Amino acid sequence: MTDNAFLLGPVFAPFAGALVTLLFWGRNRAQRWVMVLAALAALGFALAASATALIEGPQVYRLGGWQPPYGIALVLDGLTAAFLSAAAIVGFAITLYTFGCKDKQMKRSAYAPVAMMQLAALHGTFLTGDIFTFFVFMELMVISSVILVAGADDPLGIEAATKYLFISAMGTLFLLVGVGTAYATFGSLNMADIAQQSAGAGALAGVSVIILTCSFLLKSAAFPFHFWQPDFHTIAPTPIHALLSSVVVKVGVYGLIRLSTLLFPVQADAIQPALIVLGVIGIFFGSLTALRTFNVKRVLAYSTMGQIGFILISIGWGNELALTAAILYSFNHALIKSAMLMMAGWLSSQNKLKSSAIAKSRGLGQKMPLAGALFFTGGLALAGIPPLNGFISKLAVVQGGVAAAESDAAQWLILGLVVGGGILTLLYMVRLWQTIFQQAPDENTAPLKPKGEGDSILAPALLIVLCVGLGLFAQPVVALAQQVAAGLYDTAPYITAVLGG
């Protein structure tokens, strides 16, 4: 369907929210209400448009009425629906958390408009139909993230934001050069138009694939481009950390799937073995580092690197079952990780030092049974224990690996390493839960605040309940992921929807 105006909603609802919050400058509670309502509206538009795309096929909105490949088109197909829905759900959850968050930064009038711009840019990266607008939305998201982290309560916020700003410039350079080489090759920036021409592309297309792959790996904090992530994500305010480590890193994953299935499916075959190798290294490097680090938020930040490794391996395998796994894993991990990061932020808000250091958190939750049950459930979901939604993701990865091993026996070794990496996730999540909720406090444990002075637990609780539901009633989501994966290599519906008959 062309000119589906619902596609404007996920971008313009947060953008309008940002403008409205400026009208309530200095009125913090009103700004928070605007954030919640704008994120809820964006979620409604995203789910409505996604449902239409899954039933009717790719949806298109041509800005200004320009016929692609000229002008800008917003496009929503099955793959976009999966990533956009996850982003909108998490976006709404973090505004709920913000409403009950006691951080000093939440009380600053500049926070709400910048956070809304970050959410609008995030949705735009998934919806845009051309690679230059993808770059523009990406940079708007980076700038918003840097501002939000620089203003964090932690005194190291400026340092972490400065590091990310300079490192992100490298990713920006990769992305811009990749966009330039694609334009030099095809004379177009429209993804559908590039897909139509890519089969007969020359050597320059291969250069574009390599450069864009490096950019997407950096944006997804995959090994060896991970070095910016632990500091930047750990120091970020809890709502922003929850968005960064769960969904923002998925922009790179989304770009890799688009690259290998729509833009350059022929040329991308050369990078798939590299994705598998980097994925395996990422799983073990991230998981082993998470086992040895000193901060609850930092454990979860390194965990993200390991979880991204599972997705990279699935993209590298490239068969239909593996791509189903990559989509399921990306969606489920976004919900689980954002919930766990909000739980970590909630725990740190309960102590007077506002510390998430493991030593300061020992025994902190011993008299918090509800929080202990939520943290335990979320940890099991992240580790892939049945019947939670993380298990569905891990099972799909194993099925994709078995399918890959049937044609290449070497993949059995990779599959064995993947299963072993999953066990490491269970080890560091159980270690965290035992330390915080089972062990007795000691002289290093931070003193608790009076009851009611910490953040609200509502948002992470809702997400963890959703994770349980998606595990117990997984069949509809699995069926939708299979439908999306099956259509990824049939690019004709996407191209026809964007360019016309």
- Give pLDDT tens digits for 2-44: 677 789 999 999 999 999 999 988 888 899 999 999 999 999 9
- Domain with 9 in it: 5-499
Residue 352 — very low, low, confident or very high, per pLDDT cuts 50/70/90?
confident
User: 314: which strand partners?
Assistant: none
Which residue, among 93, 82, 117, has the nearest Cα to 393 in the 3D structure?
Answer: 82
Whether the CA torsion 361, 362, 367, 369 is positive or negative: it is positive
- Beta strands per DSSP E along 196-351: none
More reliable by pLDDT, 294 or 277: 277
State yes or no: pLDDT of 202 exceeds 70.
no
Report which of 219, 182, 223 is spatially closest to residue 201, judged by C-alpha positions.
Answer: 182
- Mean pLDDT of the 220-233 span: 73
> Is residue 219 within 8 Å of 249, Cβ to Cβ?
yes
Confidence of residue 471 (pLDDT cuts 50, 70, 90): very high
CB 410 within 8 A of CB 313: no
Its pTM stands at: 0.93
Q: Lowest-pLDDT range, 66-70, 254-258, 391-395?
A: 66-70
Q: How far apart are CA 115 and CA 21, in angstroms?
A: 11
Cα–Cα distance for residue pair 280/360, rounded to 1 Å = 32
Question: Judging by beta carbons within 10 Å of its beta carbon (0-12, 13-18, 19+), is residue 40 exposed, middle or buried?
Answer: middle
Q: Residue 1: is its pLDDT beyond 60?
A: no
Residue type, 183: Y
Q: Identify the top-confidence range among 350-359, 373-382, 407-416.
A: 373-382
What token pair was written down for 75? 């496009």
Rounded Cα–Cα distance for residues 320 and 389 (Å): 20
The residue with greater pLDDT, 470 or 203, is 470
- Per-residue confidence (pLDDT) for residue 446, from 0 to 100: 79
Query: At 454, which amino acid appears?
Result: G
**Across 188-202, 352-366, 470-484, least confident range:** 188-202
Percent pLDDT > 90 in the chain is 36
Q: Does position 468 have pLDDT exceeding 90, yes or no? A: yes
Residue 347 CA to chain centroid, in angstroms? 22
Task: Provide the number of structural domains found in the chain.
Answer: 1
Checking phi first, is residue 500 left (phi over 0); if not, alpha (psi -120 to 50) or beta?
A: left
Helix (H), strand (E) at residue 73? strand 73-76
Q: Are strands 73-76 and 59-62 parallel, antiparallel or unpaired?
A: antiparallel
